[in-house]
């Protein structure tokens, strides 16, 4: 990948080249949200851990490989956002930073619209990728994690129980699978590399792993340990 060559070049002659920048465009997963709870001033509040989020873990891994070229990371994740809302904020949150790489991760909130929202999701992704290609920005689409497959007994709040019931239906009915299949096809059509973490979650689930236990909020936010899967997958893709 181009970003590998840029980091290698900067590392070998750090005074001759500008800093390498990777920008991460996504929803609450990218934003760094983990546990959720009923808030005082908002309906649902979240715990953010920017040390554990996958792109910070990735930065540390790449910085060890390229110690003279520390990666500049920009977090453009916004909790609750989806591909459609992200498309509207590209000129504010992405292009002013002239990133060398953009990692896009959407699908969890988009799938909440059901099959009726699939075409909207597809068109938004197509437009995002087309705009990245127009500006010759190297882009990776990272598929997200699975959502819960059952409602955990650890969830007590009525509102969170309602959300967990809905996300379990989306996951178990095949809606989330359909969204991910569509996203992969959009990537193929636009020449976008795919870091397919969703496929790894599916493989774990089909192998008997209780993937709901791997969600810090028991709904849709991966645990800190599972953010390592995202970081490792991106690291492998960039380097090899």
- pLDDT value, residue 98: 97
| Burial bucket for residue 43 (CB in 10 Å: 0-12, 13-18, 19+) | exposed
DSSP 222: B
Residue 148's Cα: distance from chain center in Å?
A: 17
**Could you tell me if 193 and 141 are in contact, meaning their C-beta atoms sit under 8 angstroms apart?**
yes
**Could you tell me if 158 and 212 are in contact, meaning their C-beta atoms sit under 8 angstroms apart?**
no
- pLDDT value, residue 179: 98
- pLDDT value, residue 38: 83
Where residue 100 sits, what CATH number does that domain have?
A: 3.40.50.1110
Residue 33: beta bridge partners? 48
Residues 6+ apart with CB under 8 A from 190: 126, 129, 130, 133
- pLDDT value, residue 42: 80
**Could you tell me if 218 and 146 are in contact, meaning their C-beta atoms sit under 8 angstroms apart?**
no
Domain count, the chain: 1
**Could you tell me if 143 and 107 are in contact, meaning their C-beta atoms sit under 8 angstroms apart?**
yes
Structural domain of 175: 2-239
**pLDDT values of the chain reduced to their tens digit, one per residue, 240 residues:** 999 999 999 999 999 999 999 999 999 999 999 999 887 778 889 999 999 999 999 999 999 999 999 999 999 999 999 999 999 999 999 999 999 999 999 999 999 999 999 999 999 999 999 999 999 999 999 999 999 999 999 999 999 999 999 999 999 999 999 999 999 999 999 999 999 999 999 999 999 999 999 999 999 999 999 999 999 999 999 998
- Cβ count within 10 A of residue 99: 25
- pLDDT value, residue 39: 78
């Amino acid at each position: 990948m181009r970003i590998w060559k840029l980091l290698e070049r900067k590392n070998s002659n750090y005074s001759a080249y500008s800093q390498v920048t990777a920008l991460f465009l996504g929803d609450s997963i990218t934003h760094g949200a983990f546990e959720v709870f009923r808030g005082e001033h908002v309906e649902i509040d979240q715990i953010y851990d920017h040390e554990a989020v996958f792109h910070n873990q990735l930065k540390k891994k790449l910085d060890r490989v390229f110690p003279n070229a520390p990666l500049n990371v920009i977090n453009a994740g916004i909790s609750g956002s989806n591909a459609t809302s992200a498309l509207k904020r590209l000129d504010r949150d992405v292009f002013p930073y002239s990133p060398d790489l953009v990692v896009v991760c959407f699908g969890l909130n988009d799938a909440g619209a059901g099959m009726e929202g699939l075409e909207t999701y597809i068109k938004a992704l197509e437009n995002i990728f087309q705009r990245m290609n127009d500006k010759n920005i190297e882009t990776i689409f990272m598929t997200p994690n699975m959502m819960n497959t059952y409602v955990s007994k650890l969830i007590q709040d009525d509102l969170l129980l309602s959300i967990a019931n809905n996300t379990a239906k989306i996951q178990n009915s095949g809606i989330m699978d359909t969204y991910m299949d569509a996203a992969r096809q959009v990537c193929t059509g636009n020449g976008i590399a795919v870091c397919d973490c969703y496929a790894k979650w599916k493989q774990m689930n089909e192998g008997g792993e209780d993937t709901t236990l791997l969600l810090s909020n028991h709904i849709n936010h991966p645990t800190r340990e599972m953010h390592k899967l995202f970081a490792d997958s991106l690291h492998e893709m960039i380097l090899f």
